[in-house]
Chains A and B, each alone.
Chain A
């Protein structure tokens, strides 16, 4: 079964540093998303991306965050200057274009630890 692939699985970074989280969505999916889950809390939506632009973003997705689809396969989340409170599991997801066969698949996540 097709998968959403995320790299790295774990990342430790110093406060103030930039990080880039990478995702390879399922190849025929058209909608791409980033979510985060702070330890012990619910999964929260960050941003959705369609047709090479952001279609929706949450309050969490402020100016320090950005997303990009640099080529036909990768989808990245950049955090420009990390803060301690950015420590979380970050999930990439993609969804199928067919409304009648709608699949919404998550990657296995990147655990980001800011120290």
Chain B
């Protein structure tokens, strides 16, 4: 069965520190991979996506993610976190034209 695991429910980092949010997936083939961000009560904003090519993808707001096929992982990173990055982050996987399967989300808190 398709599944996405985000092992960290909450993460707290200091402003200016680096960030890595983990995502592991179980899927029959290499799926399309996405990271979305959600502020409280708001919609889902796409940060970045991967489906082929360079395994390091750049997204908006200074985020990047690296696809590692051997580890079935798609971890999200940011070199220097800003207070405005505090939100919930969702990893999602799917095939072309099909539903996305979401992880449970990681809530990021930023300390000033």
Contact = CB atoms under 8 A, between A and B. Distances in A.
B102 A104 contact: no
A48 B96 contact: no
B99 A43 contact: no
Range for the number of chain B residues in contact with chain A: 20 to 34
B19 to A, nearest CB: 21
Interface of B: 32, 34, 36, 41-46, 49, 51-52, 90, 92, 94, 96-105
Interface in A1-51: 30-31, 33, 35, 41-45, 48, 50
A102 B104 CA distance: 23
A22 B51 CA distance: 30
Contacts of A76: none
B46 A45 contact: no
Contacts of A30: 97
Contacts of B52: 100
B98 A108 contact: no
Interface of A: 30-31, 33, 35, 41-45, 48, 50, 55-56, 58, 91, 93, 95, 99-100, 102-109, 111
B99 A33 contact: yes
Contacts of B96: 99, 102
A24 B101 CA distance: 22
A93 to B, nearest CB: 8
